[in-house]
Structure 1
Amino acid sequence: MNLPKPFEEKMRALLKTDYEKYLKCFEEERHYGLRVNTNKISVEEFLKIAPWSLEPIPWIQNGFYYDGDVIQPAKHPYYFAGLYYLQEPSAMTPADRLPVVPGEKVLDLCAAPGGKATELGAKLKGEGLLAANDISASRAKGLLKNLELFGIGNLLVLNEEPGKLSGVFENFFDKILIDAPCSGEGMFRKDKKMIKAWEEHGPAYFSKIQRSIIVQAASMLKPGGMMLYSTCTFDQSENEQVISWLLEQCPEFEICEMEGYEGFSHGIGNGVQAENADLEKTVRIFPHRMKGEGHFLALLKKNGEIPEKEAPGKARAFESRMPVELEEFLQSIKRPFDRTRLEIHGERVYYMPEGIPQKKKLRFLRTGLLLGELKKNRFEPSQALAMYLKREEYPYILNFPCEDERVVKYLKGETLEVSDLVSDTEKGWYLVCVDGYSLGFGKLLNGMLKNKYLPGWRWQSVR
């Protein structure tokens, strides 16, 4: 590993006697991680069906190491069922350490590709609101897919500058996560291309962006709310000094202790300004001290008077008579849908989260759960709805064991012969499941299932 000389000198000064141990970790293999989607399955149930040997990540309750040289979990049907997310172990820490509870309004400000947003959404258990934003339109599309794959419906997916969001969501969110764009020093072992990127845009470039983002995010947090700032870099100018900047600009904030782990290191208590001992409450993750790549985390609280709980807004009356075909489909689902939260835009039907502000001129990729589309005299349910539903919530199920070759055929978009599972007289929309977990919809007629699995998600796309 040929590290840039300025980086070597900085790390030698930072780590002192630990520097040689840090260099030695570059001789080790990177660590591969898998995080269980507790919105769909408990950790205990997942371990009963997991087809591989997994080792617990000791500081993440639903995180596991796997052997990346042997296992290919992105090519398993359980991946397509949204039962887990593949994520570097240290990168699981920020969403894990932000204390989100169901019913809260949560923002992931720099969210793509969705590793942290999917965990925040799982923590909400379908209650409250998850707003997930990314400035890159192409990356935001991948973010939306991962959130829908995880079965998260109470969401807003946005593609905006943080400054534009702050004008709409002032003092709005209970919890905010900022996994800030950074120079990526902590990822040098995992991805050697990060070294060239660091030489082009180093800490001085990113620290200016980070200072702007964190202050804009601060204005969107309610008094009494909590915010977690993280990076995957080691430079103080992107880490502790950004936190010092926030405390100077927004003195209502304080640094909080977070749940510890024996491999965590304290933050360094010397910012640009005077020494601040509270900076030691921040956390550094070094790859030579634990089985994960480099990270920095700071948990912050916004002090001030906590506003009274908002009175629920006046329910919107459905703008027009409910289409019969939509009403019939919703009545078949064993999960309540508040009709006042339904919105129809053109052919598309959405189920909106509660308590969202009026949508001003923001770029949305998704507002709420896309239920499906109204065609001529029929309703076609969406892929997002399929992933949102649990087996027991829909009456018409085709459940295949994982070993059944029809599972992969379905994921490839093929028509399935299913006369062994249903009678020739049965027809209509069926939810296709693998071992009881939803994959998507199909249209049944004469013992054949016409495949409705979303083309952009099909099996070939991971090969």
Structure 2
Amino acid sequence: MIQFPEKFQERMQQMLGDEEYAEFLKSYDLPFHNGLRINTWKTKPQELLQRMGVDLKQVPWNETGFYLENKKQFSKHPYYQGGLYYIQEASAMLPAKLVNAQPGEKILDMCAAPGGKSTAIGAALKGEGLLLSNDISKSRAKALLRNLEGFGIINSIVVSEYPEKLSRYFPEFFDKVLIDAPCSGEGMFHKEPSMTESWLRMGSEEYHKLQMEILTYGAKMVRPGGKLIYSTCTFSPEEDEGSIAWFLQEHPDFHLVEVDDDKDLCGCHCIDHGHPEWADGNPELTKTRRLWPHHLEGEGHFAAVLCRDADSEPMGGKVTLASVPKLPAEMESFFQFLETEGIHYPFDKKRLLVQNGYVQYIPEGMPELKGLHIMRSGWFLGELKKKRFEPSGAFARGLTPDVCDKVIAYPGDSEEVVRYLKCETLQVDPNLKNGWYLICVDEFALGWGKVSNGTLKNKYPSGWRLV
């Protein structure tokens, strides 16, 4: 049994009452609920599960999420390495589900690392629109970038900045802003009991102050009629209903949106409503949502969907769209690569950007980013090197075999695909034409390989190597 801090126990007992508190404690004697969420940008859930020969129980509130009993089995599978699914705790799938991303929208994931929410949003956008994924920690932003590129998301921008600076760059720019806020993490005590130590050091008050600050800056970036989605993985009323109550008082042009269990949550009715009595008594707070570990198969979470009034007064400021310089002469090697290797992707030349020799395909309508700490601005295609073009792993992940003439596809259960993922050199049909090939597991892109006289030189990114 997890040893909860005494102060935490007292508060939870007061919130839930003796009988329900006993059920709450019992839930921590049950196994932790691992899950996976399938990349619908690449495949359909049931088709992938059928390919893998597994029958997994669906997460009730997310049609793309499923429960896992053996995490290790799925974390080593070539389909996982190929970005076909993301391993994620079931309750953590709720925030991105409530974003309800639609192709063509402009969305900000403000506290995005390590990428569970951003990969879900990116998959739902289906390559259309723009996803700006941010994390204040540069090291965590690197992991975020890795996950987005591994998922084959081609319309994302990854930055590492403070919310205040972002708000100055993108006033009223986004259709939706997701804030999965830093919090005291009480809902994660089951997964990481050691978090109780940081809870004792910080408590809820300091996180509440931080949440108010982030919410303020997030609101400035929501267009009139747009939405702000707020979530935490804590039970703390101060950080949950309390933060939303404060926000509504300070931002009268925002209102809470009722979450429809049937429409928004796949007909799931096991998620509780918020509790106004735990904040300022505003009855609108019943429109927020709470996930309790003793009510469902998942951990603790809180979420709220807020909409900015369509007739809100403009806050001022203007977003400048990025200007793309004329392509340098060296780009001829990129176009030559496409022609020689038989890659027929319909690139819009007006969206091709070259910076320091790196070729990127920027999202349509990308804003000016100069002055921000940018990890990636769009789909990273590769590097120009002395009159030749070297394609990137991210380029491969964004492609499908139908746009490539030269493809080598290995079955998901083959020894060859494992060796490829380990960056080993492979032998191939000596009759294959020399040159670059898109390497796939079944029909899903993994990376590149360069064939020379029956030998496949492995071009899988070393940082992605299967160990």
The TM-score bracket by the shorter chain reads: over 0.9
Quote the residue 1:320 is aligned against.
Answer: 328
Cα distance change, pair 61–29 in 1 and its aligned pair in 2 (3 A): same
For residues 389-426 of structure 1, give each alpha carbon's deviation from its aligned partner in whole angstroms, at most 9, with x where no partner exists. Answer: 0111211100011222111111111111012xx515x1
Q: Which among 383, 405, 411 is matched to residue 395 of structure 1? A: 405
Cα distance change, pair 306–373 in 1 and its aligned pair in 2 (3 A): farther
Q: CA deviation at 1:353?
A: 0.8
Matched residue type, 1:299 = V
8 Å Cα contact 2:184/2:202 also seen in 1: yes
Quote the residue 1:81 is aligned against.
Answer: 82
8 Å Cα contact 2:330/2:387 also seen in 1: no
Once the two structures are superposed, the pairs formed by residues 380-419 of structure 1 within 5 Å of their partners are 380-419=390-429
CA distance in 1: counterparts of 2:412 and 2:322, whole angstroms:
46
8 Å Cα contact 1:411/1:458 also seen in 2: yes
CA distance in 2: counterparts of 1:152 and 1:397, whole angstroms:
21
Q: CA deviation at 1:314?
A: 9.8
Matched residue type, 1:384 = A
Structure 2 residue matching 1:6: 3-state secondary structure: helix
Quote the residue 1:54 is aligned against.
Answer: 56
Q: Which among 66, 69, 81 is matched to residue 68 of structure 2? A: 66
Q: CA deviation at 1:307?
A: 11
Matched residue type, 2:350 = T
Q: Which segments of 5 or more consecutive residues in structure 2 lack a partner in the other structure?
A: 262-267
Quote the residue 1:151 is aligned against.
Answer: 152
For residues 203-243 of structure 1, give each alpha carbon's deviation from its aligned partner in whole angstroms, at most 9, with x where no partner exists. Answer: 11111000100110000000100111000001111001111
Structure 2 residue matching 1:238: 3-state secondary structure: coil
Q: CA deviation at 1:323?
A: 2.7
Structure 2 residue matching 1:192: 3-state secondary structure: coil
Cα distance change, pair 360–99 in 1 and its aligned pair in 2 (3 A): same
CA distance in 2: counterparts of 1:231 and 1:446, whole angstroms:
55
1:293 matched to 2:308: no
Percent identity, aligned pairs only, is 46
Quote the residue 2:384 is aligned against.
Answer: 374
Quote the residue 2:457 is aligned against.
Answer: 450
Q: CA deviation at 1:311?
A: 13
Structure 2 residue matching 1:263: 3-state secondary structure: coil
8 Å Cα contact 1:389/1:438 also seen in 2: yes
1:283 matched to 2:284: no
8 Å Cα contact 1:417/1:449 also seen in 2: yes
Quote the residue 1:220 is aligned against.
Answer: 221
**TM-score with structure 1 setting the length:** 0.94
Q: CA deviation at 1:38?
A: 0.1
CA distance in 2: counterparts of 1:369 and 1:155, whole angstroms:
7
Structure 1 residue matching 2:439: 3-state secondary structure: strand
CA distance in 2: counterparts of 1:51 and 1:181, whole angstroms:
38
Stretch of structure 1 that moved more, 202-211 or 353-362 = 353-362
Matched residue type, 1:125 = K
Structure 1 residue matching 2:136: 3-state secondary structure: coil
Q: Which segments of 5 or more consecutive residues in structure 1 lack a partner in the other structure?
A: none
Quote the residue 2:265 is aligned against.
Answer: none
Q: Give the paired residue count.
A: 454
CA distance in 1: counterparts of 2:183 and 2:146, whole angstroms:
24
Q: Which among 343, 363, 367 is matched to residue 353 of structure 2? A: 343
**TM-score with structure 2 setting the length:** 0.94
1:137 matched to 2:144: no
For residues 45-69 of structure 1, give each alpha carbon's deviation from its aligned partner in whole angstroms, at most 9, with x where no partner exists. Answer: 2122124331111211010001137
Structure 2 residue matching 1:167: 3-state secondary structure: helix
8 Å Cα contact 1:441/1:453 also seen in 2: yes
Quote the residue 1:20 is aligned against.
Answer: 22
Q: CA deviation at 1:329?
A: 2.7
